[in-house]
Amino acid sequence: MSANEKQTQPATEIRGTGNNGKSRHMTDRISQREHNGGAGFRSGAASLREFVNAKTIRHEVLVIGVSYLFIVAGAWNDNLLGFVPSRWSHVLELTMATLLLSEISSRVVFTSNRTVGFYVFLVLDTLSLLTVFPFFAGVALARLIRMFYAAYRLVRLLDRMACHRRNPVYLIWLFPFVVPLFAAVVYVLERHTAGSHIHNYAQALLVCLAFSLSLGNVRPASPIAMTLCGLLFLAGVVCIGVVTNWISNRYQVPKLSED
């Protein structure tokens, strides 16, 4: 072996050893990154599972808020709110539908306790979501079910918040959030009814608001719309009575115990 070969051989071996070291280092980094990514995914999945199964008020507010905005955007696109449908209303409905689909998917994947109510709400949410597609857009029953379902969930949430906080003032939110949904349904029922005094959404909203405040003097013509206004009347009486009683109890002087 020549002197030059003896001099180049160690350099080649060192260079090869360096390359192998770099390869092992890159492999370790990739493995560590994959391990960290898997751990992060598992941690995120565990947090999401806990959030879905906790059924906290925060979770309900988030879910019902998305569902409510989805309903409002759909009613806007159906020209039920007195506003002309636009590109932004369609964007809002599709955005809320995407968020609602994500929530439904997470509920299906992560829910542990699956009672009968779980499947009932799942079917109703799915029907509500299907009304985005053109085939279901003309199904008036599906649209009405979607509005009733949103109003029902809102009433349940307000009642839960009032009980949890021990503050019936939360029930007052029935008027600005639930009454507009009922007004949209009343408008759908009354706009083609003979002899009706309701010809647009604003008139339907005023009638429903008046009934919810026990001041209704203009009655709907259709029996179903009249039934809905009757329900609003009863709900308004209960809410006003509960809030009035709560306010009066706050200012009562506690009685001293007699010895």
- Indicate which CATH number applies to the domain containing 242: 1.10.287.70
Task: Tell me, yes or no, whether 54 and 141 share the same domain.
Answer: yes
Task: Tell me, yes or no, whether 79 and 129 share the same domain.
Answer: yes
Q: How far apart are CA 124 and CA 146, in angstroms?
A: 8
Provide the terminal-to-terminal Cα distance of the chain, rounded to the nearest Å. 118
**Contact status, residue 52 vs residue 59, Cβ threshold 8 Å:** yes
CA-atom Rg of the chain in angstroms? 30
**Contact status, residue 220 vs residue 146, Cβ threshold 8 Å:** no
Instruction: Indicate whether 61 belongs to any domain.
Output: yes
Task: Tell me, yes or no, whether 54 and 134 share the same domain.
Answer: yes
pLDDT at residue number 128:
76
Which tokens in the block code for residue 105? 């998917």
Cβ neighbors of 197 (< 8 A, separation 6 or more) are 203, 218, 221
Q: How many CA atoms lie within 13 A of 3 on its CB side?
A: 0
Instruction: Indicate whether 93 belongs to any domain.
Output: yes
Instruction: Indicate whether 178 belongs to any domain.
Output: yes
Which tokens in the block code for residue 147? 């509005």
Residues of the chain with pLDDT under 50: 3, 5-8, 11-16, 259
Angle, helices 3-54/57-77, rounded to nearest 10 degrees: 80
User: End of a domain among 128, 153, 178?
Assistant: 153
Q: How far apart are CA 135 and CA 137, in angstroms?
A: 6
Q: Which domain holds residue 185?
A: 167-250
pLDDT at residue number 181:
83
pTM for the whole thing?
0.64
Q: How far apart are CA 151 and CA 177, in angstroms?
A: 8
79's torsion region: left (phi>0), alpha (psi -120 to 50) or beta?
left
Neighbours of 53 (CB within 10 A): 14
pLDDT at residue number 21:
55
pLDDT at residue number 38:
57
User: End of a domain among 153, 185, 208?
Assistant: 153
Structurally, how many domains does the chain consist of? 2
